[in-house]
Structure 1
Amino acid sequence: MTFSEALKANTRDTHNDVDETVMSKQPFASHENYGKFLQAQHEFHETLRPMFADKTLNESLAGLAERGRADRVIHDMKDLNVEALTDAPARPVVDGCERLGWIYCAEGSNVGAAILYRHAGKIELDEEKGASHLAAHEDGRMRHWRAFKDQLDELSLTDDEKAEALKGADNAFAYFKSVLDVAFK
């Protein structure tokens, strides 16, 4: 099993739980609900910002810095006059190989964002207004995703480092679920 396959298998349950939680909050029922979703996205992507900017990670994962979506989330929030959460849970400090799991979670969410982007269109949001962070990469979602998975699979990691990354992926999903719950309380 490749590293990316192990990440997928390990996070299947937590990933499904987050997907169900997102849709149960009905983020596309209104601009107000979507604003709450943006607040959760903001917290998540701001937690990831230093990982996408990390020099060492960028040496291992070419183009990583350009993959981050934190600035696009902020742009979308400005489009809709959405403020950041004031009572968000503390952002975790993530280091070591655990960061690979967080980045895997974020990059994988871009594939699922295709469905969310279509839903956003139903409330008149798109790449130009309010949903730029959900828009497809210019290379296409699947090509972009496969290239990222190939990079992960080419990393030379010890079993302990892989275990740390698996833990990180689960922690990333759990954190996003926690900020969703705060945003939609």
Structure 2
Amino acid sequence: MSTPDNRQQPSLRSQRLNQITHAPHARLDQLVKAHAPFETRAGFARFVVAQYLFQSELVALYNDPELIAIIADLPERCRAEAAKADLADLDTEVPAPLAGAVNNPSKAEALGWLFVSEGSKLGAAFLIKRAMGLGLGESFGARHLGEPAGG
């Protein structure tokens, strides 16, 4: 049965998420681009520091048994150690944690954080190509942009 032309179909949850996250994502994208992370290795190292700080904040979520019950391969998806190895490749000190953003989240909040982290992997496929222009890749300096082991 079709709906009358004057009715709109309800939007999908994914479409609503895309709509409400569009503006913050655009601001973040502009901020990242303003720091020109793919112009030099030093610029890329600053980008990896930010990635490490974000990913290290989520390690507990990627290892949470309740969340693993929902997403079985969750621990393998965590990119904190890959970012840490990238920092070593780039002769960049591992920064002290800036804990506090993710503090005892509800299951819904935890899944939201994971949604953001996993969603960032969509852009990573394009970013790793840019990193290759700096002589970096999935085995040196830009591991955190590559596919997780077994992925």
TM bracket, shorter-chain basis: 0.7 to 0.9
- What one-letter code is carried by the residue in structure 2 that aligns with 1:103? L
| 1:66–1:2 CA distance, 2 compared to 1 (3 A) | farther
For residues 71 and 20 of structure 2, what CA distance do their matches in structure 1 show?
21
In structure 1, what is the equivalent of residue 128 of structure 2?
117
Q: Shift of residue 28 of structure 1?
A: 1.0
For residues 90 and 54 of structure 1, what CA distance do their matches in structure 2 show?
17
In structure 2, what is the equivalent of residue 83 of structure 1?
93
Aligned-residue Cα RMSD (Å) equals 1.9
The ranges of structure 1 where at least 4 consecutive aligned residues each deviate by more than 4 angstroms after the TM superposition are 137-140
In structure 1, what is the equivalent of residue 70 of structure 2?
60
User: In the alignment, is residue 27 of structure 1 matched against residue 47 of structure 2?
Assistant: no
In structure 1, what is the equivalent of residue 81 of structure 2?
71
For residues 91 and 37 of structure 1, what CA distance do their matches in structure 2 show?
20
| 1:138–1:71 CA distance, 2 compared to 1 (3 A) | closer
- 8 Å contact 1:39–1:85 — kept in the other structure? yes
* Gap regions ≥5 residues in structure 1: 141-185
User: So what's the TM-score if we normalise by structure 1?
Assistant: 0.69
Higher relative contact order (CA 8 A, sep 6+): 1
Identify which of 44, 57, 61 aligns with 1:51: 61
Aligned length: 139
Sequence identity percentage = 32
| 1:138–1:65 CA distance, 2 compared to 1 (3 A) | closer
1:79-119 Cα shifts (integer Å, max 9, x gaps): 11111235x65432151111111100110100101121111
Structure of larger gyration radius: 2
